Structure 1
């Protein structure tokens, strides 16, 4: 009998790619999404597939289904969306974790939490390792997401210690690729959209702040490997350790699109992290995983996708 895998947030950017991967591996997939930021077009090609089922449901409410594995990806992940409804963002992270852990406990299923590099806040340690506790403003405008994800990790470990729930936790660093939302406010999507439209590329701050950009296929590979291994519950950093300034990213997008757009500079948003780079030593050791897609190659694929939308 094929395993049944539940993917919450399955119509989102990462979730839809995960659904593709799981079906290709021979699983039955139950995709759950409330479509707050998910997009039906992301999974339209799977509708009607005998191994795919779509359920409109909000993880803030309990879910009673029979499953073997759970990937909990449900939560708005870009500042534009998670700051629009900060209370809903925190509730999605916390209540969603409680409901998925409850389901895992009832079904004796393994459950993976998609956490985030934002649990490190504006880090004082660089690069960031899993044993770093972070530097987070608990009352800032980003706290609904940062602290919501931190609390979700707490719940996962407490359910694991108290009730022996079989958990896995990954911390996802900046990820990009096809199906990235056009207007979610993140640098890769913003720059590509502006470049293709001939609009000025908006850089916040002086562009010296850094991020580490991981292509979606690499991220999904690491996620599945984390779920399938039996040696550690995590957390495990998943991201590209190659650090890049925002200005360098903008210049690369201009090069690849052939755009003549200018660069404009706006004030840096409040609490925006200055540096972000994962230490992936644990992922290399535990999962034999590291990103394989170079930034320019991944950006070419993402640009091609954005062209189809325009």
Structure 2
């Protein structure tokens, strides 16, 4: 994927511009250093585009350190942007000692690195857990040593587990059910542990921390090998193929377009209260998986077909059947979604279709 072309796509550029123009306390980032793990992922990539645009158009003079294990992926994601003075890619495995990477001082540290799709959960369960626990600890220790202003731990709707059928939407204090004695528990349980580790560092080391909990997020900056259902549906659509649904489709989930996810992240980072978790979701993007498949199939003039998942896919699939989030707490900080599920899907497919035609 040529990221210079994807960034120049008019729709994506409009999305980035909309987030960069939000009424937020941006002055907190002026002349600051921001370090981002998982910088080449779906959310990290879009966030960096926003920060670079703010630097260009609003003279924020914000230095960005993008952490990742794969330099080639960074080149694909950021292209000529890596020649800018305000963006530095630092090859780094956060599960190892950060001393090896010789990372300079950063004011804001965002931990966005994680396995986030089913095949990765099934094939790399150890790496999934370690990144959410050991990687988090290494970054928190860095914050202590460098007296960072704020740490942002990217968590997930999956910390809620399965709905006990006593609520329609998860608020931040809800605790559902997770079968911890299973391979698939590695992701949600390690995210829970990561959140607990954050609370420990707040109490014991005085680190200022906020926790955004993301819904199932999608958008044109997604990874092409992402095995989440919505990502697979989108990949089929941009190649004009039938949408393959590997379940009965009755799972009811919250989804979030990447621009809304990043605007929520920035709102939490700049306005959230230390120690608090905030859901990033919107009722306009709550949908049954079957309805989502039908929506995407209709958009490309194709059909939904059903198939059985293979053993690897089955091992990585979420067990939750009802996982919608209540974002009232985040809305009280002034956040609101700008894209419903139909609009977000339409924009994602349009951008990616243009990209594969070039």
Q: Which bracket does the TM-score occupy, shorter chain normalised?
A: over 0.9
Whole-angstrom CA distance in 2 between matches of 1:245 and 1:181: 23
Q: Aligned residue pairs: how many?
A: 308
Q: Does 1:276 align with 2:316?
A: no
Q: Does 1:105 align with 2:144?
A: yes
Whole-angstrom CA distance in 2 between matches of 1:304 and 1:239: 23
- The match for 1:83 is 122
Give the one of 201, 212, 217 matched to 2:243: 201
Displacement of 1:304: 2.0
Displacement of 1:305: 3.0
Displacement of 1:223: 0.4
Counterparts of residues 235-274 of structure 1 (less than 5 Å): 235-242=277-284, 243-258=286-301, 260-266=302-308, 269=314, 271-274=318-321
Displacement of 1:193: 1.9
- The match for 2:4 is none
Moved more, 43-52 or 172-181: 43-52
**Is the Cα contact below 8 Å between 2:210 and 2:272 reproduced in 1?**
no
Moved more, 194-203 or 208-217: 194-203
**Is the Cα contact below 8 Å between 1:12 and 1:39 reproduced in 2?**
no
Q: Does 1:5 align with 2:72?
A: no
Q: Which has the higher helix share?
A: 2
- The match for 1:172 is 214
Displacement of 1:296: 1.8
**1:65-122: CA deviation from partner (whole Å, max 9, x where unpaired):** 2100001001111111232111111111111110111011111111000011111112
- Segments ≥4 residues shifted beyond 4 Å: 36-39
Give the one of 97, 115, 118 matched to 2:155: 115
- The match for 2:348 is 302
Displacement of 1:309: 3.3
Displacement of 1:198: 4.2
- The match for 2:46 is 17
Whole-angstrom CA distance in 1 between matches of 2:217 and 2:74: 17
RMSD across aligned positions (CA): 2.1
**Is the Cα contact below 8 Å between 1:204 and 1:269 reproduced in 2?**
no
**1:253-293: CA deviation from partner (whole Å, max 9, x where unpaired):** 122222x33421436946521011111110011x2112111
Give the one of 212, 227, 233 matched to 1:185: 227
SS at match of 2:265: helix
SS at match of 2:283: coil
